Structure 1
């Protein structure tokens, strides 16, 4: 998959998952089933793992559930309620185990115990007890804030009102669900009373728990399995297994299918056994959850942004179906990527109606991959074809095959557009890429609108009340055509006949709230601003890395400006090297890329070279991203739009690092083999103490931590006079800071 393909697919997935999240968590009316939802998230996570710089502001990876619904009080979780990463194959499970071992520095021969338990298809719940008394209960909500369902939870028989022998403070977490027998009985009663029936037990459980009248909940047969905990004043046990035993002794139901396993093979054995008995369990499950058993190791492994490293959900597979390809629609993404989407005759696949599928690019439609090799046996896709849709695997949904015997006689090969359908600008395909891009830039409405949506998103400027629909409306009115227009909106359209308040669906109160949110958004940390610019490849993580390194917009912009000539030299060198390699291959000789690069770089001024090396030397920032940044800031229209936005913003100074940290503000490079911690742990610890971690040694490097096997980096550090420590010296330096 190319970068352009990945970007287009992430846009599609964000839209689909955002809609599904709201339907599932906020409305209790899912549009797709759990298997499809999980497969979409898997696809999104896999692309983000491969292309971290493309991570979007509305990335499903950063979303847990949905915002609490109106009508309920709100409870903020003391410890965030997270979701789980997913595994779908035996290879995924083996990789889950391998990742943990790599992070912990364990070998394949080291014992590592896990627990395996059925993944209940219900509604996540957190129940807080203080001095043994049930204080409140909340749904997961968006992971940080949930709905106050305390009165309803008190009616569930599986939830004790008081605990004897529990820690003074204990938050018990688990799943509210409904058994198959109880669900059937409930639907029978509902039908008899001419009331609403439910589509499945999960919907019934969620709808029952989220009743404003607790007496309705009391009449519904809800159950609860405890499987985790949040805030706790004293540890429940040393292991996951021991903690579950403790919860059972306190009076909670814990799943009797839970098993302790040594290694991936044992996990798979439990998974196969539970899958075989799935229909006999009496309640819905959609997979098996694996967790590291040792709680000390769980703490050491820690968390990603929305998922723990020490757990994953091994999900059950999905299904396939045949349908008709009615048409091919073209979408234009934020960076101009032109993406084809299959419009299908709606078909039910595993209980879910599927009406479209991604087609990636023109090569995919033509029946070949980016290397020119055949896919689907080289069969192209044509409007009118009967196609097989597969809802699992690399593309969700994916066209698996074509029934040539059913191809209409008048079906023609698809002619991929060479101009943008939004603005008419040429759509070009760069050498080495498989995706065409609109060259219209800021004159292309699709790109402008997508950038504006990206900028106001939660991970960027986070302007409450300015969502996708509002952005589209203000753009259609030509009130907001570039980012800076957002911050002058009140000045231009804050009052009068042509004002925000005068629009249909608005009023003085809602307009005032929007303007207040815009004013709040004027003050932003540098990382959010960088991410919000929508520069190609510049994701949320890269934005934080750049902000941490440069510290201010002025320093960042000065570095980019200085690196401009070097960026162009790098581009020329890569083009020349590619041409030389092709020519050498044709002539049967060995290419000399080093000589070519040296020739191209010879005329680059030292200041430009140093600025470029500084940027690409930042850990996590490579040449591809650095080129995209230079391109954006050196393009006149782009720079003018960025400068206009910056004039409206106040960039916050970086957060002060505790003075007690001995490495705060230092640039640190790790090289060689670390023996007492993994590289990931070392980097995380250094950054937590305020250090900047770089991937290369330069004159700005303050400290090199060298383990056995250190090579060229240690030699360069010695030449530059950089302070060097071994691993023990590094640990002594940071101590308990």
Structure 2
């Protein structure tokens, strides 16, 4: 893969991973399983390892996936970061972890324990009394869920000893029995059932009404001490034994080993017994026992170097492919779904699985009637692993040449896997486009969920995103479960969205290959929607961080006759078409209009924090160093970006100089 292709794929992977992080961590509604997610993340890690200059400050490889929702709960700053774990998928990777550890320390002792599939939380105690609980969030800032954690019977509200201050980390989970009771009741009530126990636990814990949380009968295993006053502990195993003395429920078993081969034996043992456990596990965790050795090993920007998670391979079973169903997505992409003879996988019955695209079907040589192997990694969404047998006289699957939704021709662009419907007014695309348009990162219209959108479309009240700005309260009140107050709130939210910054509108338009960050770069560069529409490919390509394909997509979109009509409608309806301009007091002469690249480990900031400061003061950030770069902010172990900056003569600054520049207002 050349650098240009790598940059495009990395950008696509970041958007995909951020989307699935939002679904998993913040909406508790994952759309792909852990195995598929891990494949995306590993692919991005490999690209960034080959091309370090493509690493961005907000890359999913540099941060924990979740974030704190200020809408539901108050934020809680974690004084000790709640880090994620690096994943391994083979015994050889566990041995590689051991080699990395032994390069720094001698004679490590490892503690191996099951990895609980739940929601990570912090619980704080003062003088032995529970005072606050919070979610992990992005590792630095979580959500205050104190009242909800108080409903969990296995979390003590008073410790057996009055420790002056203690913060522990644990995993909130739902037992298999409780999960089965809840989804049985949901089925009986005609409700959409939870996908798995982890999803159920997370959704239950992040309820505004603690009574709902209490009714879900959640449990917790406490597995780590984050902070403690008044007691000195020297090792992980010692701390777990101490936590038991205090009254906490800790992991049911944890054993220590000095030999990595015995660690691997223990991983296999846990794998053999985990199906019989009363709770879900998705792996095993290997940790350095000695706290002193942990300190010596330290952490990366995202992971501790003293721990590793091993993910078990997913369960696999054979079944028959009965049919291939074609669905149409928001951007007109035709997505094939396999219909299978029902088979039990990871405790549930599976009869459908996505087949992704025609390339996937051809690669597997999938044909209707085939005997195939399915797996259900992470116990969420199944996938086809391989074909084990074709039926006699079977024929290769032919993709439809017309859209199954509207009957229009479909097309496939060069170097693209997807077939697309050519009709921009295709009804199947409309609902998905509307959902994107009103989403949090786009126009952020609160209260306009998919159920309401589907009703508006089904009742022929809207046929395009801009029709949202033409509907009235009476129309909304005519919908199911929408009273006068709800309707008025929704109208107010729609009206409020008119004043959004320009970049949100640009992102909401759904231009191919243009994510929120690219939309912001366009808005910042050109200032108005008209200026973006009139920009040439050369002008767009000149933006730091834009590739040729992205520029072409923007240019082509604004040359479409229907886009020109759309822009006039946007103006008529009163939507803001100008980017926010920072006042002089908000900017800094040394930052305004300048491009910064951040590299290495900073002592006083996370990369995302430094990038936010730069943008607030009028500057821009980029992931790669070029002649257009004005400053490189270099921390420890800066690596190749620092070398490139020096070779190009780009100004290199450290954190001390960065602070001095911040203080020099114009």
The two structures have a TM-score, normalised by structure 2, of 0.70
Q: The residue matched to 1:322 in structure 2 has which SS? A: strand
Aligned equivalents of 1:263, 1:540: Cα separation in 2? 48
Aligned equivalents of 1:487, 1:236: Cα separation in 2? 62
Aligned equivalents of 2:463, 2:174: Cα separation in 1? 50
Equivalent residue, structure 2, for 1:725: 651
Equivalent residue, structure 1, for 2:383: 398
Aligned equivalents of 1:245, 1:422: Cα separation in 2? 61
Equivalent residue, structure 2, for 1:435: 418
Aligned residue among 477, 480, 505 for 1:529: 505
Distance 1:418 1:74, change over 3 A: closer
Aligned equivalents of 1:21, 1:37: Cα separation in 2? 16
Aligned equivalents of 2:330, 2:157: Cα separation in 1? 51
After the TM superposition, which residues 91-106 of structure 1 pair with which residues of structure 2 at under 5 Å, given as runs? 93=93
Distance 1:652 1:97, change over 3 A: farther
1:227 aligns with 2:223: yes
Equivalent residue, structure 1, for 2:316: 320
Aligned equivalents of 1:264, 1:555: Cα separation in 2? 60
Contact 2:115 2:283 in 1 (8 A): yes
Q: The residue matched to 1:481 in structure 2 has which SS? A: coil
Contact 1:111 1:262 in 2 (8 A): no
Aligned residue among 313, 331, 345 for 1:349: 345
Contact 2:17 2:40 in 1 (8 A): no
Contact 2:160 2:245 in 1 (8 A): no
Q: The residue matched to 1:414 in structure 2 has which SS? A: coil
Aligned residue among 332, 336, 348 for 1:336: 332
Aligned equivalents of 1:417, 1:172: Cα separation in 2? 56
Which stretches in structure 2 are left out of the alignment for 5+ residues?
49-53, 55-59, 182-193
Q: Computing the radius of gyration over CA atoms, which structure comes out larger, 1 or 2?
A: 1
1:636 aligns with 2:561: yes
Contact 1:177 1:202 in 2 (8 A): yes
Deviations 1:664-708 (A, max 9, x none): 33534559xx78879x9778745544442333545x643367989
Aligned residue among 421, 425, 428 for 2:408: 425
After the TM superposition, which residues 158-197 of structure 1 pair with which residues of structure 2 at under 5 Å, given as runs? 159-162=156-159, 164=161, 166-168=163-165, 170-176=166-172
Distance 1:509 1:179, change over 3 A: closer
Aligned equivalents of 1:161, 1:391: Cα separation in 2? 41
Distance 1:83 1:286, change over 3 A: farther
Equivalent residue, structure 2, for 1:561: 534
* Superposed displacement of residue 551, structure 1: 2.8
Equivalent residue, structure 1, for 2:187: none
Q: The residue matched to 2:335 in structure 1 has which SS? A: strand
Equivalent residue, structure 2, for 1:415: 398
Aligned equivalents of 1:664, 1:263: Cα separation in 2? 53
Equivalent residue, structure 1, for 2:188: none
Distance 1:92 1:553, change over 3 A: farther
Aligned residue among 620, 624, 632 for 1:692: 620
Contact 1:420 1:427 in 2 (8 A): yes
> Mean Cα displacement is larger for which, 521-530 or 350-359?
521-530
Distance 1:559 1:235, change over 3 A: farther
* Superposed displacement of residue 350, structure 1: 2.9
Aligned equivalents of 1:633, 1:50: Cα separation in 2? 35
Aligned equivalents of 1:459, 1:206: Cα separation in 2? 22
Aligned equivalents of 1:236, 1:489: Cα separation in 2? 64
Deviations 1:497-534 (A, max 9, x none): xx221233322222122212223333334443343222
Deviations 1:651-676 (A, max 9, x none): 673778997978533534559xx788
Equivalent residue, structure 1, for 2:57: none
Distance 1:666 1:234, change over 3 A: farther
RMSD (Å), alpha carbons = 5.8
1:511 aligns with 2:487: yes
Equivalent residue, structure 2, for 1:622: 547
Equivalent residue, structure 2, for 1:520: 496
Q: The residue matched to 1:631 in structure 2 has which SS? A: helix
Aligned equivalents of 1:130, 1:351: Cα separation in 2? 42
Contact 2:101 2:297 in 1 (8 A): no
Equivalent residue, structure 1, for 2:631: 703
Q: The residue matched to 2:542 in structure 1 has which SS? A: helix
Distance 1:645 1:450, change over 3 A: farther
Aligned equivalents of 1:201, 1:125: Cα separation in 2? 16
Contact 1:20 1:37 in 2 (8 A): no
* Superposed displacement of residue 343, structure 1: 1.4
Aligned equivalents of 2:65, 2:601: Cα separation in 1? 34
After the TM superposition, which residues 86-485 of structure 1 pair with which residues of structure 2 at under 5 Å, given as runs? 87=87, 89-90=89-90, 93=93, 109-111=103-105, 116-121=112-117, 126-135=122-131, 144=143, 146=145, 148-149=147-148, 152-153=151-152, 155-156=153-154, 159-162=156-159, 164=161, 166-168=163-165, 170-176=166-172, 212=211, 224-228=220-224, 247=243, 250-255=246-251, 257-258=253-254, 268=264, 271-275=267-271, 278=274, 284-289=280-285, 301-302=300-301, 313-365=309-361, 367-368=362-363, 375=364, 380-392=365-377, 397-404=382-389, 407=391, 411-441=394-424, 443-485=425-467
Deviations 1:459-509 (A, max 9, x none): 32232221122222222333222222222322xxx33xxx22123332222
Equivalent residue, structure 1, for 2:580: 653
Aligned equivalents of 2:569, 2:126: Cα separation in 1? 53
Q: The residue matched to 2:418 in structure 1 has which SS? A: coil
Aligned equivalents of 1:87, 1:358: Cα separation in 2? 25
Contact 1:343 1:356 in 2 (8 A): yes
Aligned equivalents of 1:309, 1:527: Cα separation in 2? 38
* Superposed displacement of residue 362, structure 1: 2.7
> Mean Cα displacement is larger for which, 522-531 or 507-516?
522-531
Aligned equivalents of 1:166, 1:42: Cα separation in 2? 39
* Superposed displacement of residue 396, structure 1: 5.6
* Superposed displacement of residue 330, structure 1: 1.0
The two structures have a TM-score, normalised by structure 1, of 0.64
* Superposed displacement of residue 417, structure 1: 0.9
* Superposed displacement of residue 535, structure 1: 1.7
Distance 1:531 1:481, change over 3 A: same
Q: The residue matched to 2:322 in structure 1 has which SS? A: strand
* Superposed displacement of residue 344, structure 1: 1.6
Aligned equivalents of 1:519, 1:297: Cα separation in 2? 55
Q: The residue matched to 2:535 in structure 1 has which SS? A: helix
How many residues are treated as equivalent by the alignment? 604
Distance 1:269 1:634, change over 3 A: farther
Deviations 1:320-376 (A, max 9, x none): 2222222211122222222211112221123222111222333433x33xxxxxx4x
Distance 1:631 1:384, change over 3 A: same
